[in-house]
Structures are given as structure tokens and as C-alpha cells.
Amino acid sequence: MADSDNSSSRDTRLLALVILIALVVLFVLARFRFPATETRPVVVAPGPLERLAARATYDDLAAVIQTFLQRATTSIVVTELEADTAAGAPPRNLPPGAPPPDRLLVSGVRLKGDLAVVSVPAGYRVLPVRDVIAVHLADAKRGVAVVVAPATGAPERPAIGAEDFGGFVYVAVVEPTPTGLTAEPVFIGRIDRIQDDRWGGLLAPGGSAKLSPGALVFSLDGRFLGIVTTLPKGATGVIPAARLEAFVESVAGGSPAGGS
Amino acid sequence: MISLRDSPRRELGGPDPLDRRLGAPPLTALEWLKTLLFTRSAFGLSPSITPAMIFLPMGVLLGPLGLQWFTPRVLGRLDAAVTITLAVLGVLAGIALTRELRDAGRLLVAASLEGAVTIAAVAGATVYFVSATGLPIEAPLLAIALAAGLCASASSATSASPDSEAAAGVATRVADLDDVLPMAITIGGFAWLSPTPLHSPWVAAIAPVALGLSVGAIGWLVFDRAESSAESAVFVLGTLALAGGAAAYLNVSPLGVGLVAGVCWAAAPGRADRIVTDDLRRVQHPLVVLLLLTAGAIWKPSMAALWLLAPYLLFRLAGKCAGAWATARLLDVRAGDLAAFLMPPGVLAVAFALNFRQVLPVEAGDTLVSVVAMGTAAFEVFALAVVPHWRRRSR
């Protein structure tokens, strides 16, 4: 009887200790704030039977784009560009007669640690806002800037697509909006390689593919293919991801805020 | 009166009862490791460890983060099979509930009390933690907290040392019955959360009961009329597919539908419950494997999941301890023994998470499954490595 009472009181003490430790640890952990993250649209799960039903190819494509964007978000940064009136050069690539916007939203990709590359049209400069805290290097000749954009978790670098991108495929084109990133599928048909004195070689999609300068191009399986840029004659081309990566690697060791 | 300790045990293996009475010599490290491996059983294979410890990591390996055999599209297709598996688990719980009620109704009360304490502990801790830390969750906070609490309440008592442990039999039956209250709450939770409610939440709450009764009636009418075992297997599987499919179509909980159908078959005159139990024995293990592989493949190491894991682990442990303490006197077992045996969550925790994933927004559902998968693996390891050692010391 005495043994039973002893073991019962010992159990009670142990159980009380476990509860006490749980409460203390919870209160200590609750003092930390969860790192701020961007708000994503709420996606309602389709029902099990709905997932089984045969669907059109376009529905599959939409699902792939949505899944891709959810995965790619951690490697993409968003910042703003401001019209650089001191530079004197008017912003290019605007519709005839349209006044140049004072600010532009652009997205970039982390390619080495916290360093990301963004496209910067002539006449603009990067502002250290949103995901970006500093400009590491601005290269006006190439029309890009390498910015410092610390990740909330471990910085994620996307897989880099092969430079011999063959065309005749759907790609995901990522662009920023004021409330978050968006992506849309774009069919790239014929693609040619052209020489460029800034990058050595660019990809030039043929036909009428809708690619906005500064947009990020990914394959549907999440490989980064490049950034859309403007070609000298007003057409659009894609700076291959491998060349962007090599560029970021080459400038990564330099001091911040340098430029050419 | 039937003693709570007179029930047969489910587990195999374990130390020799005579050795236990005489007092075994101290174990070497190698012997200790061997005893760990030989005291657990998964799918009747011994030596082995529990299914969750094998198939959850395997699911991660095969999933989108690993070999990508389970792509998001495949996982979407598997959702229907998961729904039927949940209905099967509900049926097994319903049959167990009805059989136990005939012998020991107070065991159900005690098990429900233990489950309610754990649900309250984990749900309360989750609400406080999410509010205090500003953790962004797409779903209503109460919904995700309740879902976490329900998942945490599941127990499998697979760490029970067989043959000689008097408390093991009681714990095993408590673990069987402590899922009934969560399943009943799940029916209500689905009525509240379902994205396409049936006219009103009341109709959505009654629908699974009506559906379970209908499926139960259909099964009861056809099972006994089967002329061969193959025919009865077709009837059983067809009825369960009907239960899962109808639950998916109406967006109600397949666990709840299966529970009601199982209660019908066990309570109705005839051999319906035995036929179902015999036929499900053939498919039960592959379906459980599918459930665990799917949960592993859905697992994503997100920041939100890691943060939510803290209150889940801490307060499942505290809740099980408090629940065991509250119910131990009713069951004539030591609170420490009961708490130790109830630590492994087993397959039903994962089943609850996959069930709620069907009605929660995608990100919140995946986060819940990730938390529960990690928690299940952690508690299985805890039960395997720590609990037997602690219980040896406590004796």
C-alpha cells in the first residue's frame, strides 16, 4: 500500500514536472517573433474526386505554374527602381508619348548567397527597399545591378538552366506586382543565338512571344533560364542564366556600392 | 465483472516473463540495442520498428523533395485512395468501439477523457503560440489548433511490452478507444471548415452520420449473402469505396463515415463485422503503407512547420501525461505506465492530418501534415529509445 502511494506520488511529481517544463519552454519560445514573410494568396484544396477527374491540358499547365511559383518564391527578390534624373538619360522602352514612371517594380534572382541580380533599364537606379538592403554593384552598360537581398531562411539559389535552351517549350515568366509575384506561361517557339558585346551571347526568341524587359524566365521544372533584356533594335532577348551567374560570381568579391 | 487486464495483447516479442521476475542482468550496449529492435513489431515482422518510422522517411525519399516518384500530380491522384483508407480506419475504429462498449463502457469514458485533455492542451498551446509569435497561417487559427489537437490525441500503444505488463493491455485498449472522441469532433470540424458546405453546417454535420448509416445498411444487406470469400471481399471493398467516394463527393469526413458504418456492422445482428474485419485484414497493411508514404511525400521542411512543431511536441507530451494522470485511477494502472504506453501516436495521427488537409487551404494543410509527420516520427523514436529505459528505472 505504501509502495503504491509512493509510486503514485512520484508519478504525480514527474507529470507535474513535465507540464511545468512544457509551459516554461512555450513561454520562452513565444517571446520570439516569426520572421516576416510575404502574404500569399490562399489556395483552397480541390476535393479528392476533383483531382481524379480528367482535366484539360490548360488546367494542368495552370497547376504546374502555380506549383512552380510557390517553390521559386524563396529564390526571387523584389525591389523598386527610381528614375535617375541626375543621370540625365531618359528611360527607354516606353510607349511613344508615355511619360516615364517615377518608380518601377522589378524582380531578381539570388545567384550567390544573398546576392541577387536584377535588370535595371537605362535612366533608373535601384532603391534599397522591399527585399533589397543595399546595391552591391550597378552595371549601367549591361543594364543590370547586383543587389544584397538577405533571405529570411537559408538563401536558395535556383537550378541554372542549360545555355543551349532549345525553344518550342512553355516557360514560366515571373514578374512582380505591388502585392506579390505572379507568373504566366509563355510559349517560346524558335530561339536563336545572337552575339552581344555586353554579354557575349544572348537568346533571341522568334515570333511574337510576350516577354517584358526585366522579367525572369524559368523552365516549368523550376530551372532559371535568364532575364529578359532589350536588344539594340528594340526587340527582346534573354540573358542566359549561366552568364548572369558568372557575372555575379565575378563581382561577388568586390566592395558594396561599386559600379561601372 | 470483466477485468480491464484480461484482454488479449496485440504486440509480439518482448522479454521473457520469468527473466523479468528473477531480475535480468544489466544489459550491454549491443544487447540493449537488440532489445529495442526486438520488442517492436511492424506488419508482424520482427525484428523491426513501427511502420511510421519506416514509411514516413521512405515517403520523403520518394516524394517531390527526393526521387520525385510521388510528383504533385501523383499525390493529387492518390487523394482518392487516401480517402478510402481513412474510411477503412474509421470502420476499424467503429467496430473496435462497439465491441469494447459491450465489455467496458467506463474504458471509453476514460479514453475519451484522456483524449480530450490532450486535445485541449495542444490546441490551447497552439492558439497561444501562434498569437504570440505572429506565425502566419492561412487557415482560421482555431481550425488549425483544433486539427493539431485532434492529431495529437491519437495513440497506438505500440511500445507496450507484452506478456508481463499488466498496464500494457489497458493502455492498448485505451489507445484503441481514445480515437473515438476525435473522430466525432472531426465530423463537426468538417461541417465548420468544408469549403463547399451542404446548405448549412447542420446538414453537413448530419450528412456523415446519414451516409455511414446508409453504407452500413447496404453492407449489412449484402455481406451475409456472399457465396464465396472472393465475392464477400468484392462486396466489402466496393462498400468501402462507396463510403470514401461519397464522403469525398459531399466533402465530409471519411473517418466519420467509416466510424458510423463500423458501429452499424458491429451492432447489427449477423456476421457483417467479422466479414469486414477478415477482408480488411488483407488490404489494411498496404493501405496504411500508402497513407504513410503519402504523408511523407507531402512533408515540407517549412519555417511555419518547424515553429508549430514546438507546441505540438511539448504539449502532446504534457497532454498525454496529464490525461494519463486524470484517468489512471479509473483504470487501476499507474499514471506513469499509462502515459509511457500512450506516447507513440501511430498511424491515426497521420490519418487525422491527411483528413484535415482535405478541407484546409493548401499551404495550411501541407504545414499540418508536415508537423504531424515530424511529431509522429519524433514520438515513435522517443517511445522506442526513451520510454523503455525510463520505465526500467522507474521500477
Q: What is the pLDDT of residues B69-123, one digit of tens each?
A: 888 888 888 888 999 999 999 998 898 888 877 767 788 888 899 999 999 999 9
Residue B204 domain flag: no
Distance of CA B235 to the CA centre of its chain: 25
Q: Quick one: pLDDT band at residue B40, thresholds 50, 70, 90?
A: very low
How far apart (Å, rounded) are the C-alpha atoms in residues B273 and B256?
A: 17
| pLDDT-wise least confident of A84-93, A217-226, B11-20, B237-246 | B11-20
Is residue B124 one of the residues assigned to a domain?
A: yes
**Which of the 8 DSSP states describes residue A142?**
T
Model pLDDT, residue A259: 43
Contacts of B17 by beta carbon, 8 Å cutoff, 6+ apart: B163, B164
In sequence order, what are the beta bridge partners of B58?
none
Length of chain A measured in residues: 260
Taking 50 as the threshold, does the pLDDT of residue B9 lie above it? no
> C-alpha angle A28/A33/A37, rounded to 5°?
150
CA atoms within 13 A on the CB side of B132: 16
- CA separation for the pair B361, B363 (Å, rounded): 6
Residues of chain A with Cβ-Cβ distance to B307 below 8 Å are 34
Residue B6 has pLDDT above 50, yes or no: no
**pLDDT surpassing 70 at residue B68:** yes
Over residues B248-259, the mean pLDDT reads: 90
The rounded percent of chain B whose pLDDT value lies above 90 is 38
A 56-95: CB under 8 A from B: 60, 63, 67, 70
Strands A169-177 and A224-230: what pairing? unpaired
* Residues spanned by the domain of B354: 49-195+285-394
Give the integer Cα–Cα distance in Å for B233 and B173.
Answer: 28
Chain A residues inside the 8 Å CB shell of B196? 47
Does residue B118 form part of some domain?
yes
Contacts of B386 in chain A (CB under 8 A): none
Counting the structural domains of chain B, the total is: 1
Residue B131 has pLDDT above 70, yes or no: yes
Q: How far is CA A91 from CA A95, A123, B17, B87, in A?
A: 11, 5, 86, 63
Locus of grid cell 473517418: B255
A40 — alpha (psi -120 to 50), left (phi > 0) or beta? beta
pTM, whole model, 2 decimals? 0.66
- CATH number at B309 reads 1.20.1530
Tell whether A9 lies on the interface with B, counting CB pairs under 8 A. Answer: no
Chain A residue at shortest CA distance from B329: A8
Q: Among B138, B196, B251, select the one facing A42 at the smallest CB separation.
A: B138
**What b/e string do you get for B175-190 counting C-beta neighbours within 10 Å, with b at 16 or more?**
bbbbbbbbbbbbbbbb
Select from A11, A29, A33 the Cβ nearest to the Cβ of B336.
Answer: A11
CB-based contact A34 B135, cutoff 8 Å:
yes
- Beginning with the edge strand found earlier in the chain, give each strand of the sheet holding A134-139 in spatial order: A124-127, A76-83, A103-112, A115-119, A144-148, A134-139, A258-259
Kindly report the nearest CA distance between residue A57 and chain B, in angstroms.
Answer: 13
Out of B132, B314, B339, name the one closest to residue A15 (CB). Answer: B339
- Chosen for mutation from A18, A25, A71, A156 (greatest number of chain B CBs closer than 10 Å) is A18
C-alpha cell recorded at residue B112: 475519451
Q: Locate the chain A residue with the closest alpha carbon to B395.
A: A7
CATH topology of domain A169-242: Thrombin, subunit H (2.40.10)
**Residues 188-247 of chain B whose Cβ lies under 8 A from any Cβ of chain A:** 195-196, 245
Comparing B139 with B59, the larger pLDDT belongs to B59
Q: Quick check: B351 pLDDT over 90?
A: yes
Place of cell 541626375: A86
Residue B79's identity, in one-letter code, is D
Residues of chain A with pLDDT under 50: 1, 95, 257-260
d(CA B88, CA B287) in angstroms, rounded, equals 9
The reply to whether B121 falls in a domain is yes
Q: What is the mean pLDDT of chain B?
A: 82
Does residue A51 contact residue B245 with C-beta atoms inside 8 Å?
no
Residue whose C-alpha cell is 511500445: B159
Is residue B112 assigned to a domain?
yes
* pLDDT score of B385: 67
**B135 and chain A in contact, CB less than 8 A:** yes
| pLDDT for position B34 | 61
- Domain-embedded: residue B240: no
Taking residue A2's Cβ as centre, other Cβ atoms within 10 Å add up to 6
**C-alpha dihedral sign at A155, A159, A164, A168:** negative
The CA distances from residue B209 to A256, B216, B261, in Å, are 66, 10, 8
Using CA coordinates, name the residue in chain B closest to A70.
B363
Lowest mean pLDDT, pick from A100-114, B150-164, B226-240, B244-258 = B150-164
